Structure 1
Amino acid sequence: MTGAQGIAGTNGVDGKSAFEIWKETTNNTTATITDYLAAIKGDTGAQGPQGTAGKGITTTVDNGNGTFTITYTDGSTFTTSNLIGAQGIAGTNGIDGKSAFEIWKETTNNTTATITDYLAAIKGDTGAQGPQGTAGKGITTTVDNGNGTFTITYTDGTTFTTSNLTGPKGETGAQGAAGSNGKGITTTVDNGNGTFTITYTDGTTFTTSNLTGPKGETGAQG
Structure 2
Amino acid sequence: MPATILIIEDEPAILELLSVNLRHAGYAIRTAQDTRQAQDQIRDVLPDLILLDWMLPDQPGIRLAKQLRTATRTREIPLIMLTARGAEQDKVDGLEAGADDYLTKPFSVRELLARIKSLLRRRAPQLTPDPIQAGGLILDPEARRVSCAGQDLPMGPSEFRLLHFLITHPQRVYSRSQLLDQVWGDHVFLEERTVDVHIRRLRKALTPAGQENRIETVRGAGYRFSGAPS
- After TM superposition, the score normalised by the length of structure 1 is 0.10
Structure with higher Rg: it is 1
- After TM superposition, the score normalised by the length of structure 2 is 0.09
Q: Which has the higher helix share?
A: 2
